Every structure is written in structure tokens, then in C-alpha cells.
Amino acid sequence: MNEAITTARTLLQKRSKELLSRANVVATGVGFKVTDGRRTETPSIICSVERRVPASTLSPKDLVPQELDGVPTDVIETGRIRALQSPTGRFRPAPGGVSVGHRDITAGTLGCWVHRDGQWMILSNNHVLANSNAAEIGDPILQPGPYDTGGYPDDQIAVLEDFVRINFPGDSNGGSNGDSGGCGIAGSIVSVLNGIAEVLGSSTRVRSYSTRQVDNLVDAAIARPLKEEDVLPEILNIGTVAGTASAQLGTAVKKSGRTTGFTQGEILQVDVTVDVQYGTNLVARFTDQLMAGAMSKGGDSGSAVLDDQNRLVGLLFAGSDQTTIINRIENVFDSLNLSL
């Protein structure tokens, strides 16, 4: 037996180049021949082909012979063999599920490709593409993100197109780029509430600092690719997105992210109101969120969340050791005027 294997290996060393030159052959090796679906004890030279095709459609020079110098051959279909690329690598074209980030952040995840006004856009989080409100429209977006060695200008894939401002309470800047709009809205809510309190004769007046600014629904941003050919409208390890859906309690979900890759979970809570920490001292409150179990880590932010029919249901943006917090895709699409 060992002798037969040695013979096959020695033969393959001499003939592999020639076998690989035949159309469709993508790999050669030594293994046990499979006959009628069962593994035999016969060592053989195995040619892996991208696709099995009828022998009649192949020219004689591309046919794998039944045997080579007395050693039997076998042909198996393996499809095209690709290197397993890490999601932190550089991808052109770039699918969803890979590293991306604004020039001034570390790295997050390119969720998926969506459309606005007929134009392809990268969908991810504000804190990934817009540096938690600090970015300016038109800023460079890198793939991979800076933490994954993405550099400007070589790895720039897109420009920041738009983002939904994250409202932080007690932050008179309404974030970090000097816009005070959020505070104004909070102020007017307080005055209306105080008006009601007055009419009702309440002794407790609502004070401004105890009323938060407008709660957040999404941590979302989009970026416009520099080149259409860099768009790969599928998600690494998931495939193409088959529409959108509204997640319910118990919906089985999956995502493909920069740090933990492909993971699965289940929607354990809906209608979640949650306080989320940004950096060391900012907290923003989000409402109408979905909560799943532990299916993400830092760097997975921005991942598209899909149900078991590959329908997009959410945008992952936060979590703890025990949980993952997800924006509802309905809210994301509404707030940025997006479609698939």
C-alpha cells in the first residue's frame, strides 16, 4: 500500500504541471480513488476541476486520462479555489463584511452596498465612517481601515456622503463638530413640558438637564465609492442580500464582520431603549433597537445583519460581553433615504 502511494506521489511530481495545464483542472494531488460514491483502497492521482463537464465537450488534449503510467486517476469537482482572505485585508472590488473606516478612526465594518438616488453607497455606522459626528462630508474613507494598515490616499475607496448625527445629552455641541441644533430641540421640548406642568398645576417642573436631547434611532452613515468597479454587491461569507425584512422576537440572524467574521444569533429583545457609551465619557440613548446575544466584538460595528433568508434586517453598532445592539434597517433606510 505504502509503496503504491509512493509511486503515485513520485509520478505526480513529474506530471502535475502537465495535468494543471488542461482546461478546468485547478488542483492535483494523491488520494484514494472514489468509485460509485465510496472511497476505495486504491491510491490515485486526483485532479480537481472547477466544473465537471461531459468528456465529449472537451478537446482530447484537455481530457484527464483514465490512468497515468499504470496509476489510476480520479476527477472531482471543487469549484474555483480562492485564498481565504481575512476581512481585515484590502479588497478590490470590496464586498460587505470587510474592514473600513474614516481616516481618523481605527476600523469598523463595511456593512453592505446600498443605493441612494441611483448611486451605490457603502452603508456603515456614523462612528465608523463619520468619526462620531466629527467628520466632514467628502472626507476620505479607507478600505481597510487605518488600524488594518489602510492608508491615505492609496487605500481610499470612497468619500463620506452623509450621516445621521448622534445626539449626546449634555453636549452643547450636539456632538463634536460644533452643531448646536440638537440642544435647541431639547430646549423646546422642555418648554412645552413645562407649559403642560403649569396647566396641570404640577409642583414638579421638568428641568432641562433631566430631559435628554432627542433620542437616537440609528448610528448610520453612507459613503460614495470613488470608482464603480470597486463595488462588489455581496457580503463576505454570506452572499447577496435578498431584500429587507422587519426583525421580530426570535428571528434568527447572522452577520459578517471585520473582527469576528461570520456569526449567528437570535433577536432576544425588541423595542429596546439603551444607553450606549462612545469612547470614555459620552453616552447616547437609542430607542427602538434590537438586542441579540454575544455575536460581535469591537471592529464589527457597521456589519449588516440578515435573517435566514438573507434579508437585511439591521445594522450592528454596539454591544457588551453579553449582548449585541442592532439598529432596525427600516429606521436606517428611512433616515438616510436608502434602498437596496
Which residues are at the interface with other proteins (CB under 8 A)?
108, 125, 127, 132, 192, 195-196, 198-200, 210, 219, 249-250, 268-278, 285, 289, 291, 296-301, 316-323, 325
Residue 239 gets the label, from left (phi > 0), alpha (psi -120 to 50) or beta, of left
Shortest separation between residue 111's beta carbon and other proteins, angstroms: 13
> Which residue, 195 or 239, has its beta carbon nearer to other proteins?
195
Shortest separation between residue 84's beta carbon and other proteins, angstroms: 24
Distance CA 210, CA 213 (A): 10
> Which residue, 28 or 296, has its beta carbon nearer to other proteins?
296
> Which residue, 48 or 259, has its beta carbon nearer to other proteins?
259
Shortest separation between residue 206's beta carbon and other proteins, angstroms: 11
Cell 423595542 belongs to 271
> Which residue, 143 or 323, has its beta carbon nearer to other proteins?
323
Shortest separation between residue 305's beta carbon and other proteins, angstroms: 13
DSSP 63: S
Distance CA 312, CA 328 (A): 9
Shortest separation between residue 221's beta carbon and other proteins, angstroms: 13
Contact by Cβ (8 Å): 276, 316: no
Task: Give the contacts of 33 (CB within 8 A, at least 6 positions apart).
Answer: 39, 40, 42, 43, 44, 46, 72, 74
Contact by Cβ (8 Å): 301, 317: yes
Which stretch of DSSP H or E encloses residue 183? helix 181-200
> Which residue, 229 or 321, has its beta carbon nearer to other proteins?
321
